[in-house]
Amino acid sequence: MRILLISFLTFISFAGNSQQIIDTIQSEEGTMIVFANRTWVYLEDLNFDGIMNHHVASQVDTDSNLNYIQSWDHDVCYTSNLANNVNAMKDTIWLCLEDSESDSLDGLFHMPTDGIITSHFGWRRGRNHNGTDLDLNTGDTVRAAWGGKVRYAKFNTSGFGNLVIIRHHNGLETFYAHLSKHIVVPDQMVNPGDPIGLGGNTGHSYGSHLHFEVRFYDIPMNPEKVIDFKEGIVRDENLMVHRGLFRPGGYAPSSSGKAVASGDKKYYRVRSGDTLGAIASRNRTTVSRICQLNGIRPTTVLQIGKNLRIR
C-alpha cells in the first residue's frame, strides 16, 4: 500500500506539476501535497460525486419537473451551463442554514467579510447583478460563509477576476469574486470562517470590494434575503427555497413555528480590551461555545466592533 501511494505521488509530480513534492500532509481535510514552489493540491477523492447534501439532492433528483443538472467541475462556474430553469420549481425545498444544536462547525454561518454593502442584488446598469457587493480593502481576509468543499479557485476571464466557489453542506454554493489572491485549492474542505482568499479588485471591478453570490443549483438568489449583513447572521436557520426566492423582490418565508428567535440568540459587540475568556465569563458561557457559535478558534484575534454570538 505504501509503495502504491509513493508511486502515485511521484506520478502526480510529473503529471500535474513539474515541481518536486516537498511534503505530504494528512489532515481532516484530506491529503495535501505541497510542491517546492509552495503551491499545493489536494488528492482528489475519486469517489466524490459532488453531492454535499444528499437530502437536498434526492429531493431535486426525484422531482421530475426540475431535471436539474449539477456536477463537480473545477473549471466552470456553472456546472449546468445555466440550464436549470427557476420556473420549473413548483415545490419548496427546505435547507438548514444554521444548526445551533450541532456540535460541529459545519452547521454554522460566518460573514465572508465585515464591510458594508456597496451594491445590491438585482437589475443594475442594464444587466442583472447576481450578488451583493461588500466593501473591503485589498489584502483583507475573505472567509468561507459556511462549511463545504472548494469547487473552483482560479482566475476567471469573464469578469469575476480571481474567484473562489464553495459548495456547501447545506446545498448552496457561494461565489467570492475580485479577490487579489485565492488561498484555497479545489477539493479542499473548509469550515465556516476559514480564510479562502484576500480581497481585491481583479476582473470587472472598480475599486476593491467582494462580490458575493449565493446560488442554488446555479440559480442566484439575493444574498440579503438569506443573510443580515448588518448583524452578521443568517436571517433564519431555515431557508425555504422556492421560485419567489430568486426574484429581486422575492422573500424567504420562515417555516412555521421556527421563526428567527431573536430572543433565543444573543450577541455581544466586541470592545477594546475584550478577551474571549472575559466575554465568556461575563455572559455565563464558555470560550469553546462562543468559538463554536462563531466559527472561530480560541486564538482568533477579536475585531473591535464585531458582533459575536454568545447564545
Nearest CB to Zn ion, comparing residues 120 and 154: 120
What pairs with residue 134 in β-bridges?
A: 117, 210
Cβ 154 to Zn ion shortest distance, Å: 19
- Cell 461565489, located at residue: 175
Q: Which of residues 74-133 bind Zn ion (CB under 5 A)?
A: 131, 133
Cβ 188 to Zn ion shortest distance, Å: 24
Q: Which of residues 204-233 bind Zn ion (CB under 5 A)?
A: 211
Cβ 133 to Zn ion shortest distance, Å: 4
Which residue is at the shortest CB distance from Zn ion? 211
Count of residues in contact with Zn ion, rule CB under 5 A: 3
Q: Does 169 bind Zn ion (CB under 5 A)?
A: no
CA distances to 5, 112, 175, 198, 295 from 192, in Å:
31, 9, 14, 16, 6
Nearest CB to Zn ion, comparing residues 210 and 308: 210
Q: How far is Cα 240 from Cα 263, in angstroms, rounded to an integer? A: 22
Nearest CB to Zn ion, comparing residues 143 and 169: 143
Site string for Zn ion, 253-292 (x = CB under 5 A): ----------------------------------------
Nearest CB to Zn ion, comparing residues 146 and 160: 160
Q: How far is Cα 202 from Cα 209, in angstroms, rounded to an integer? A: 9
Cβ 269 to Zn ion shortest distance, Å: 28
Q: Please report, as ranges, the residues that interact with Zn ion according to CB under 5 A.
A: 131, 133, 211
